[in-house]
A and B are shown apart, each in its own frame.
Chain A
């Protein structure tokens, strides 16, 4: 169990450092690459919680597709390749204060609800159904309890597809 904690804090460190760089970096491409680090480390956290199917989807869809979209977006909008001072508002301190206050409120609500040490997760967080893997449980519930939401996601993707075509079409 100690190993899990070591990994957790290692990954948390990577996530927070990289996320911080995403929002402060003066180079758009660097920001995108730091985002990759965040996404990969978050996927590893999912594995720690035995949600391996979500972790795999995170890697395939987020890192494999969404990041590529972002890189295309950066390329097509001809972002400066070097460092660019115009990426952040001059009055960023106000935004930082907002974020800190928000964290204070949410951190208080979380610690108040679950206390710091009193709420451990179950030792085995796998949701065993058919063959001892989370993936089987996920697929079972996607095609039973969450069938309608699952189909609705396809409508969402259709709407996004039509929308992107409408906007990208040359007049």
Chain B
């Protein structure tokens, strides 16, 4: 119980990932769905850093940095799309997004 175990971090990441998945599936507000996706990306980063420490390679840290940059880009574009749809229909409820039927 003395050393840090790899699985501590991995299971923390797995729980965080699943909380994020729950958020994406269960939330109706588009902004909250985006936040849940951020939770998933953080879970990935915990995994990457822990694996990097485990394998003694820097790849994990570098990849985690890239993931943070990607998260910023995704949130930027995502919020722009959400604002666009809000401007037209005064709602960011994803359940209302059902104009097309098939």
A106 contacts which of B14, B52, B70, B92 (Cβ < 8 Å)? B14
Instruction: Contact check, A149 vs B66: say whether CB atoms are below 8 A apart.
Output: yes
The residue in chain A whose Cβ has the minimal distance to the Cβ of B57 is A127
Interface size for chain A: under 10, 10 to 19, 20 to 34, or 35 or more residues? 35 or more
Pairwise interchain contact B15-A4, C-beta atoms closer than 8 A: no
The winner among B4, B15, B54, B93 for most chain A CB atoms within 10 A is B4
Residues of A within 8 Å of B75, CB to CB, are 66, 69-70
Residues of A within 8 A of B (CB): 1-2, 4-5, 8, 12, 15-16, 19-20, 22-23, 28, 31-32, 35, 38-39, 42, 45-46, 48-51, 53-54, 57-58, 61-62, 65-66, 69-70, 72-74, 76-79, 86-89, 92, 94-96, 98-100, 102-103, 106-107, 110-111, 114-117, 119-123, 125, 127, 134, 137-138, 141-142, 146, 149-150, 153, 156-157, 159-161, 163-164, 167-168
